[in-house]
């Protein structure tokens, strides 16, 4: 992790590594994917604007998450002003001020798995995602793809083994 003023290449790298993580974190809070992306983008714009303020003691990732939290609080605040829902604002505010670190919620691991899944062979990836993302049973996957259930199991085994190798030392 690098500290100090952020240059454009580092900013891009940070964006590529953390944009999805922040979007998902925000989405879990507000349940609106489009809005989550908008707030996440605002977060990165703010990060760039404040790039000179990143001190040697501040991890960029922590700083980024701090901005995201503040952006979310701003969102709740503007919601309160617009709709006058003082009660919900108050509870949302309370909640956002006690936000756990994003990694603590397991999103970091899930993001790493999502990235590793992209490296699986297309067929294995498809079967794994049908099971884990779409929630299909092995029988349903076999039926859907017109393959045997044993092939589904074989590919699931393959996927788990490969993910373990790809994520070795990372999680």
Partner 1 sequence: MSRIRDKILDYFIRSESTGDKGSEVLDKELSEDPAFDMDEFVKYEKIWNASSDLKEFRKADVDVALSAVEARIDTPQTSVRVIPMWQKWSAAAMIVIVLGFGFYRWFVSDRYVTYEAIVAESIVLPDSSIAHLGRGATLRYLKPGYFSGAEVREFYLTGDGTFEVRKDSSKLFSVMSDHTAVDALGTIFHYEARDKYSSTRSIEGRIRFRSRFGHFDHQHLTAGDGASFDAETKTMVPYMMDEVSVVGNLVVSKMTVNDLLLIMRDEFPGEFVVDQTADLRPEVVIQVNLDQELPDIISALQESDQMDFSYDEEGGIYTITRLLAEDQGWVADYTYEMYQNDVDFNHLSE
Site residues, partner 1 (CB under 8 A): 12, 15-16, 19-20, 23-24, 27-28, 33, 37, 40-41, 44-45, 48, 106-107, 109-111, 113-114, 117-122, 128-129, 131-135, 138, 147-151, 153-154, 156-158, 160-168, 171
| Residue 87 vs 168, nearer CB to partner 1 | 168
Nearest to 11 by CA among 50, 38, 39: 50
Q: How far is the CB of 86 from partner 1 (least distance, A)?
A: 30
- Could you give the 3-state DSSP secondary structure of residue 160? helix
What's the rounded Cα separation, in Å, for the pair 47 and 2? 15
Q: What is the dihedral of CA 15, 133, 120, 139, to 10 degrees?
A: 180
| Residue 53 vs 97, nearer CB to partner 1 | 53
Nearest to 39 by CA among 77, 1, 13, 83: 77
Q: How far is the CB of 20 from partner 1 (least distance, A)?
A: 6
What's the rounded Cα separation, in Å, for the pair 99 and 113? 23
Q: How far is the CB of 80 from partner 1 (least distance, A)?
A: 26
| Residue 63 vs 107, nearer CB to partner 1 | 107
Q: How far apart, in Å, do the first and last CA atoms of the chain sit?
A: 17
Q: How far is the CB of 70 from partner 1 (least distance, A)?
A: 17
Contact present, 43 and 71 (Cβ < 8 Å): yes
| Residue 52 vs 118, nearer CB to partner 1 | 118
| Residue 93 vs 103, nearer CB to partner 1 | 103
Q: How far is the CB of 63 from partner 1 (least distance, A)?
A: 16
């Amino acid at each position: 992790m690098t500290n100090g003023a952020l240059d454009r290449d580092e900013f891009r790298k940070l964006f590529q590594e953390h944009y999805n993580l922040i979007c998902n974190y925000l989405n879990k809070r507000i349940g609106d994917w489009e809005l989550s992306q908008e707030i996440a983008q605002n977060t990165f714009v703010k990060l760039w604007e404040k790039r000179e303020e990143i001190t040697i003691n501040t991890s960029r990732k922590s700083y980024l998450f701090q901005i995201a939290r503040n952006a979310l609080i701003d969102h709740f605040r503007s919601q309160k002003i617009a709709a006058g829902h003082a009660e919900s604002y108050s509870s949302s505010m309370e909640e956002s001020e006690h936000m756990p670190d994003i990694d603590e919620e397991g999103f970091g691991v899930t993001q790493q798995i999502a990235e590793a899944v992209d490296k699986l062979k297309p067929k294995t990836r498809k079967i794994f995602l049908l099971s884990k993302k779409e929630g299909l049973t092995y029988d349903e996957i076999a039926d859907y793809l017109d393959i045997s259930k044993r092939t589904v199991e074989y590919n699931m085994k393959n996927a788990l083994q490969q993910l373990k190798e790809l994520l070795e030392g990372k999680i």
